[in-house]
Amino acid sequence: MSSIVTNTARFRSEHFEPEPALDPAEQRRLRGHLEQIDFTAYAANQAVVAQALGRIELAKFERLAIAAATARARWVSAAAAMAEASSTITDDQVRQLSSLRQAYEELTEAYEALRRMVERGYLGYEPKA
């Protein structure tokens, strides 16, 4: 089992590991079932994502990346401005920073999700000509 840590979540990727008590024929049967399950999830994702998003081109990735970068800049610049103005930050300012950070994190997660959709073959990609 392996894990990938992102800035906000931990994703687990579990792979088939046969039980030592299972005989080889039973292990193959179980592996076949799991492959069917995985393919069903793949096909469902491919159908739903393709219907919702169609094909994606580089410009969509660029716009999403710019939106995330802008949100990050707004969050950090607001925090810096608050710290410059006063050594103490009010509860309202903390809520404002939290909202700005959440916007940045949501846009970053959306970008990563879009990239994973292309990587996994759920979404067609039109390369830049």
Cβ atoms of 78 and 89 closer than 8 Å = no
pLDDT, one tens digit for every residue, the chain (129 residues): 444 555 555 555 566 666 677 788 888 898 899 999 999 999 999 999 999 998 899 999 999 999 999 999 999 999 999 999 998 999 999 999 999 999 999 999 999 999 999 999 999 998 877
Q: List 4's β-bridge partners, or say none.
A: 11
Q: Dump the DSSP string for 85-111.
A: H-SS--HHHHHHHHHHHHHHHHHHHHH
Q: What is the pTM of this model?
A: 0.73
Cβ atoms of 33 and 45 closer than 8 Å = no
Cβ atoms of 76 and 102 closer than 8 Å = no
SS3 label, residue 5: strand
